Amino acid sequence: MSENRIILEVKGLKKYFPIHKGDKTLFVKAIDGIDFEVREGETVGLVGESGSGKSTTAYCVIGMYSVTNGTIMFKGKDISCASSQRPLELKRDMQIVFQDPGTSLNPQHTIYKIIELPLKVHGLAKGREMRERIVQLLESVELPESYLYKYPRMIGGGERQMVAIARALATNPSFMILDEPTSSLDVSVQAKIINMLIKLQKEFNLSYLFITHDLSLMRNVATRVVIMYLGKIAEMAPTEIFFQSPQHPYTQMLLSSIPVVTKEEEELKPKKIKSQGEIPSPVNVPPGCSFNTRCPLAKPECFEKDPVMVQVGPDHFVRCNLFA
């Protein structure tokens, strides 16, 4: 995998949101300095709890948020500028699928109109070609032609997400951000969508940044896993290595909290590190390591020194004072 070309490179990315309290201005540090990359044909799983900054990362990359600090490089070009300054060609090459297809599809438009929009904006099809292309896109997500004139409310949640995927595919992107695409769906529907996404990835040579809170799903989908906690990356490793030897105490807590269905999985869970405490507010990040409020292994230095990323194995990075 490492020979593959780097398609997306994020360096020192920061995103702060100001909040005004009286005459004071505080900052929500949604992302506080993260580095990671996505290589061609890869699926990077960005995993974290709510408030960890995983969606903010996605929105910064896609250009919905401006960047406070740091750079985002896409295919060698700096794209950390505002969305309005991004060339149309770039916008065509990167697409996003949101969590809730109920709100990301216009309820007043038919499926035809929904998929037609990106084709029109990017001038990818005209006249009779348009309909053919839309039908072809629907076919690639295994929806029949009869769906063309249906409205989003007339079809099931899973099928709506398929339409959202077809819309993202319309512009022939090479990179797609999937922001929790299955977290509001049942497992039997999730299975269908995930298999579809894997198939499409092979067919169109797509690279995915897959955002989720579900580690068991990532075990089956991602090639590399990035764990985020309070706006920072805690651990990053190729999937196989990650699940064999998770290193960061937070990662171990996360893994040991997952409810599983087989004995083999039970054995993969780290020795019960008991889950305790809750994620602190990103406005008042504790000094030192941000995980120190919940960490069972915290040492005195963890309350003073913010750990730096260290390499502990091939492609395996951990940000914890225990490894410094």
Partner 1 sequence: MGDLVKIQDLYVWFRVYGGYMKVLNGVNFSVGKGEKVSIVGETGCGKTTTMKAILRILSSQAHIPKGEVLFEEKDILKMKESEIKRLRGRGVAMIFQDPMASLNPVFTIGDQLAAVISHSGVQDLDKEKIRQLSINALKEVKLPDPERILGSYPFQMSGGMRQRICIAMALATERALIIADEPTTNLDVTIQDQILALLRELVTKRGNSLILITHSLGIARENADRIYVMYAGNMVEVSNNEELFCNPLHPYTEMLLGCVPKLSGGGIAEGIAGRIPDYLNPPPGCRFEPRCPYATDRCREEKPDFVDVGNGHKVACFKYN
Q: Which residues contact 18 (CB under 8 A, 6 or more apart)?
A: 25, 26, 27, 28
Tell the smallest beta-carbon distance from residue 131 to partner 1 (Å).
Answer: 27
Distance of CA 148 to the CA centre of its chain: 29
Phi, psi of 264 (to 5 degrees): -60, -40
Looking up tokens 């037609």 gives 116
Q: Is 154 in the site for partner 1 (CB under 8 A)?
A: no
Residue 260: enclosing H or E segment and its boundaries? none
Q: Is 146 in the site for partner 1 (CB under 8 A)?
A: no
d(CA 83, CA 102): 25
Sequential DSSP letters for 27-90: EEEEEEEEEEEEETT-EEEEE--TTSSHHHHHHHHHTSS--SEEEEEETTEE--S-GGGS-HHH
Tell the smallest beta-carbon distance from residue 165 to partner 1 (Å).
Answer: 15
At 132, the amino acid letter reads E
Q: Is 50 in the site for partner 1 (CB under 8 A)?
A: yes
Residue 154: enclosing H or E segment and its boundaries? none
Complex with partner 1: residue 46 or 170, whichever CB lies closer: 46
Stretch that binds partner 1, among 36-44, 145-153, 218-226, 296-304 (CB under 8 A): 218-226
Stretch that binds partner 1, among 143-151, 164-172, 263-271, 300-308 (CB under 8 A): 263-271
Q: Is 29 in the site for partner 1 (CB under 8 A)?
A: no
Residue 40: enclosing H or E segment and its boundaries? none
Stretch that binds partner 1, among 84-92, 122-130, 208-216, 312-320 (CB under 8 A): 208-216
Distance of CA 125 to the CA centre of its chain: 30
- DSSP helix/strand/coil, 48: coil
Which of 148, 191, 241, 298 binds partner 1 (CB under 8 A)? It is: 191
- DSSP helix/strand/coil, 132: helix
Q: Is 201 in the site for partner 1 (CB under 8 A)?
A: no
Q: Is 192 in the site for partner 1 (CB under 8 A)?
A: yes
Instruction: Answer yes or no: are the C-beta atoms of 175 and 143 closer than 8 Å.
Output: no
For 85, the token pair is 């300054």
HSE of 8, CA atoms in CB hemisphere, 13 A: 28
Stretch that binds partner 1, among 27-35, 78-86, 166-174, 257-265 (CB under 8 A): 257-265
Q: Is 75 in the site for partner 1 (CB under 8 A)?
A: no
Which of 189, 241, 310, 322 binds partner 1 (CB under 8 A)? It is: 189
Q: Is 107 in the site for partner 1 (CB under 8 A)?
A: no
Q: Is 140 in the site for partner 1 (CB under 8 A)?
A: no
Which of 213, 241, 286, 322 binds partner 1 (CB under 8 A)? It is: 213
Q: Is 214 in the site for partner 1 (CB under 8 A)?
A: yes
Residues in the chain: 324
Which of 69, 172, 245, 257 binds partner 1 (CB under 8 A)? It is: 257
Binding residues for partner 1, rule: CB under 8 A, are: 49-50, 156, 158, 186-195, 213-217, 219-221, 243, 253-262, 264-265, 268-269, 275-276, 278-279
